Chain A
């Protein structure tokens, strides 16, 4: 243990353990407790109580950790795990400003989502199991952000994948949900394998898994450049899988098959945040590989624009939000590619809060209108569900970048970071993406809440307080958290400098005005298309029908993957199966057995069954052996 450990550091490792304990308690003791309760509903309520207590305690401990980081700058604790030859592998946690920000985000969002889920999942058949996996998922993500070595991080990384698999496939009786869970797991697995290879490469070069030691060795230039580049690229591919970057984005929209609070959790705080966090955490070695940074930037840019365009044409409210998540993750990656860790993490937090708000709002909508998800079948709901409507507007406006909401500040930081990098083409395309994101946010917020109420929704009403209270909390934060960017007094120098002391808080007025103008144009355009009907969306789509059709079909990427799986992988699989059947099974295994059977058919006539045959054989054999022995001995 290090000498500088403080209360905050010890609080930090307790946070994931609490949720892990909640998971174990729910899974293993619920049946036992069941003997003492006759009422199943009362029994079911124990699960959320356990998991929420754990995550609430985690959220409270987070403040201790935060205080500690503000006063003592964090630190690390570790204990020995394995000693293999010269390498010592340790369990350890590492607390710094990035990880403390992530702990805050994860515990807070998980807490609200779990509270909300009590209302949303009421009466579900697997109510307890739902909260158990929530606790497991939180454990995994909290461990991931705290891990001080890559092996431990990879552990947690895989657990996050498992958690998302279980949650997306929570309604596994539904075939599409089971398929979506499988798709998410397999798609991210491709990235995971690359990440593991990257970690092993780094371990081979440096002989340690410890992240700060790896940085130290890498910075002193002791790692072969080619190996450094390839391992950084592999780590980035791992991050691409988890953060649903192009071309691994296909799993995220399908992940909507899970319960809506799960989408909120996956999109806001846990699963997809893991990739961005990983790149931010490994930034010192990314910076040593400028070519890879360029790839990070390009992938981020492609994802940003390309997912934004898809979000613009989807009709399913959850799909729109899903593509918007991919798009914003792309923006974060783009920003990381320019080295803007502070801006990316800030946007991660702002986006996490806003997206959790939007998903929970969408869940509240769907809950009251019998699980309808097509936005064109909704309308005029702002009168029926005022709280959901207002909070949804705040979330959407924040992500669209309307001042003074949080999204405005984070987007500004991101743009500033991209601008500093000096790639003006990239900057221009980023502005286009910002415009797109404001436009689709306008669309998804306006269509369900304005216009006339369709007949089938006449019964819709506001959801219960356990559902809207988290919405209000998130909306308040979504409006207010942006001010963290500003310097507050002498202890807090503004977000950018807080994360990286080399950065300084700055404002470029023309950039702010430019982004406000872009957002306003997009919002006005959205307003005139979807409310005033001044411009017909149909006409625009018919203006370039092929493009519209292509985007509506998700650029045929899903179809292409399906084609590759059907034609290439399954054909190859059939060949392998044929080889197995014909060569391995029929020739080697069955063939040897059959040849012995056939030869036995021929040779069994020697077994006459007559006593004297056996006797003669024995006598001849014995004398033969005797003669042989005699001859050999002489």
Chain B
């Protein structure tokens, strides 16, 4: 039988992998993918609570609503991020995040 704990463990794993990807990878596309992974980890966590929480129908539906929002935002964000990365590549011929350090003072 699948419990809330399983959802949480899966979600935690995915989140940790995502975090590791964001911090450790140097390829901008991979960083982006890791961010997506983190977002989906949160989604899984939310859906788990939505299913197993001891609450009314309408309250539980709230979890689904938030997930749809997250997916929408993630899609929009992805489009923007890909565009930025494309421009970066055009300008610098590289998508290595170590080469992109102009975002300071």
Contact surface of A with B, Cβ cutoff 8 Å = 604, 607-612, 615-616, 619
Instruction: Say yes or no for B98: interface residue by CB 8 A criterion.
Output: yes
A601: nearest chain-B partner, CB-CB: B105
> Which A residues touch B19, using CB under 8 A?
619
Question: Given the complex of chains A and B, what is the CA–CA distance between A630 and B24 in angstroms?
Answer: 28
Taking a contact as CB atoms under 8 Å apart, the answer to whether B102 and A612 are in contact is: no
User: A612-B24, A615-B22 known; A604 and B105 CB under 8 Å?
Assistant: yes
Max count, chain B CB within 10 A of own CB: residue among A604, A608, A612, A616: A612
Instruction: Say yes or no for B103: interface residue by CB 8 A criterion.
Output: yes
Question: Given the complex of chains A and B, what is the CA–CA distance between A397 and B19 in angstroms?
Answer: 109
A614: nearest chain-B partner, CB-CB: B103
Question: Given the complex of chains A and B, what is the CA–CA distance between A607 and B101 in angstroms?
Answer: 10
> Which B residues touch A607, using CB under 8 A?
104-105
Question: Given the complex of chains A and B, what is the CA–CA distance between A283 and B1 in angstroms?
Answer: 109
Max count, chain B CB within 10 A of own CB: residue among A607, A610, A619: A610
Taking a contact as CB atoms under 8 Å apart, the answer to whether A612 and B101 are in contact is: no
Taking a contact as CB atoms under 8 Å apart, the answer to whether A619 and B23 are in contact is: yes
User: A615-B23, A616-B23, A619-B19 known; A608 and B105 CB under 8 Å?
Assistant: no
In the assembled complex, 6 residue pairs joining A and B whose CB atoms fall closer than 8 Å, in A order, are A608-B104, A609-B100, A609-B104, A610-B101, A612-B22, A612-B23
Question: Given the complex of chains A and B, what is the CA–CA distance between A71 and B23 in angstroms?
Answer: 104
Instruction: Say yes or no for B31: interface residue by CB 8 A criterion.
Output: yes
The DSSP consensus for interface residues of chain A is helix
- Across the interface, B97 reaches (CB within 8 A) one of A604, A611, A616, A619, namely A611
> Which B residues touch A619, using CB under 8 A?
19, 23
Question: Given the complex of chains A and B, what is the CA–CA distance between A614 and B97 in angstroms?
Answer: 12
List the 6 closest pairs (A to B, CB-CB), nearest first: A609-B101, A609-B104, A607-B104, A611-B97, A604-B105, A615-B22
- Contact-residue bracket for chain B: 10 to 19
> Which B residues touch A608, using CB under 8 A?
101, 104
> Which A residues touch B104, using CB under 8 A?
604, 607-609
Max count, chain A CB within 10 A of own CB: residue among B98, B102, B104: B104
Question: Given the complex of chains A and B, what is the CA–CA distance between A615 and B28 in angstroms?
Answer: 13
Question: Given the complex of chains A and B, what is the CA–CA distance between A616 and B31 in angstroms?
Answer: 13
- Across the interface, B103 reaches (CB within 8 A) one of A609, A612, A615, A616, namely A609
Taking a contact as CB atoms under 8 Å apart, the answer to whether A609 and B31 are in contact is: no
B101: nearest chain-A partner, CB-CB: A609
A611: nearest chain-B partner, CB-CB: B97
> Which A residues touch B103, using CB under 8 A?
609
User: A616-B23, A619-B19, A619-B23 known; A611 and B31 CB under 8 Å?
Assistant: yes
User: A615-B23, A616-B23 known; A609 and B102 CB under 8 Å?
Assistant: yes
A609-B102, A615-B22 are known; give 17 further A-B pairs, CB within 8 A: A604-B105, A607-B104, A607-B105, A609-B100, A609-B101, A609-B103, A609-B104, A610-B97, A610-B101, A611-B97, A611-B100, A612-B22, A612-B23, A615-B23, A616-B23, A619-B19, A619-B23
B104: nearest chain-A partner, CB-CB: A609
> Which B residues touch A611, using CB under 8 A?
31, 97, 100
Max count, chain B CB within 10 A of own CB: residue among A604, A610, A611, A616: A611
Task: For the complex formed, measure the closest distance between the CB of B32 and the CB atoms of chain A, giving whole angstroms.
Answer: 11
Question: Given the complex of chains A and B, what is the CA–CA distance between A608 and B103 in angstroms?
Answer: 8
Question: Given the complex of chains A and B, what is the CA–CA distance between A604 and B100 in angstroms?
Answer: 18
Question: Given the complex of chains A and B, what is the CA–CA distance between A619 and B24 in angstroms?
Answer: 13
Question: Given the complex of chains A and B, what is the CA–CA distance between A607 and B105 in angstroms?
Answer: 7
Taking a contact as CB atoms under 8 Å apart, the answer to whether A612 and B105 are in contact is: no
Question: Given the complex of chains A and B, what is the CA–CA distance between A609 and B101 in angstroms?
Answer: 4
Question: Given the complex of chains A and B, what is the CA–CA distance between A612 and B99 in angstroms?
Answer: 12
